[in-house]
Amino acid sequence: MLTKEELPECPVATTVQLIGSKWKLLILRNLLQRPWRFNELRKNIPGISQKVLTDSLRSMEADGIIIRTVYPEVPPRVEYSLSELGESMRPIIKAMEIWGAEYQKIVKSQS
């Protein structure tokens, strides 16, 4: 998690710092559906590299947004899910989905 010294003054800037990347938003979109394994996420998010996915997941875990669960199996199984804090972002992502759908309608009606 960010320390209070690392937090921007502006609450919007704080949110952008935590989830503002295109990849983190798409990861969140998926995790709002259900827990996912690493390779499932990589295959379901076109264009994301293994490194960016790894870095994004680690960052989101460190910020308390997601939970990484390792199952004691051979081979080990790891799943990523939203924490309670991550779940609290559901209305934000839903609002973005609604806005995006409306925007798509406007653009399509102008064609």
Q: What pLDDT, on a 0 to 100 scale, did the predictor assign at position 48? A: 97
pLDDT in tens, 28-47: 999 999 999 999 999 999 99
Q: What pLDDT, on a 0 to 100 scale, did the predictor assign at position 83? A: 97
Higher pLDDT, 78 or 9: 78
Domains and CATH numbers, the chain: 11-110 (1.10.10.10)
Q: Are 17 and 2 in contact (CB under 8 A)?
A: yes
Neighbouring CB atoms inside 10 A of 52's CB total 17
| Averaged pLDDT, 87-110 | 94
Beta strands in the chain (DSSP E): 36-37, 66-71, 77-82
* Residue of 39, 34, 26 whose CA lies nearest to 78: 39
Q: What is the pTM of this model?
A: 0.86
Q: What pLDDT, on a 0 to 100 scale, did the predictor assign at position 111? A: 74
Q: What rounded mean pLDDT belongs to the chain?
A: 93
* Residue of 21, 57, 60 whose CA lies nearest to 40: 57
* Residue of 32, 47, 42, 46 whose CA lies nearest to 83: 32
Q: What pLDDT, on a 0 to 100 scale, did the predictor assign at position 2? A: 66
Is the pLDDT score of 49 beyond 70? yes
